[in-house]
Amino acid sequence: MKKVKLIMFNWRQVGSIQDRDGAGENYDKFEVGVSGITEIQENEPCNGMQLWNYIAVHEDGRSFRVFNPNFIEYFN
């Protein structure tokens, strides 16, 4: 299985085209080696009833499961 380096999720539009600065975009992300994230695990569904998901593991033992990725970068 490929090792995940970066995952971006929760994409959202910020502002409006009617604003002076126009509309932009924003998202959340987890990246290995940044903000205490030690690894990101990719979970492939084992049957048709499950969803692809990603688990970001923090150095203090916490983990965060992401079901709505917008962008995934893998290590070479």
pLDDT tens by residue, 28-69: 999 999 999 999 999 988 887 788 899 999 999 999 999 999
Q: Hey, which residues does 8 pair with through a beta bridge?
A: 29, 71
More confident: 53 or 2: 53
- pTM for this entry: 0.81
The yes-or-no verdict on residue 71 having pLDDT over 90 is yes
Structure confidence at residue 43 (pLDDT): 92
What does the buried/exposed string (b/e) look like for 58-74 if buried means 16 or more CB atoms within 10 Å of the residue's CB?
Answer: eeeeeeeebeebeebee
Write down the domain spans for the chain: 4-74
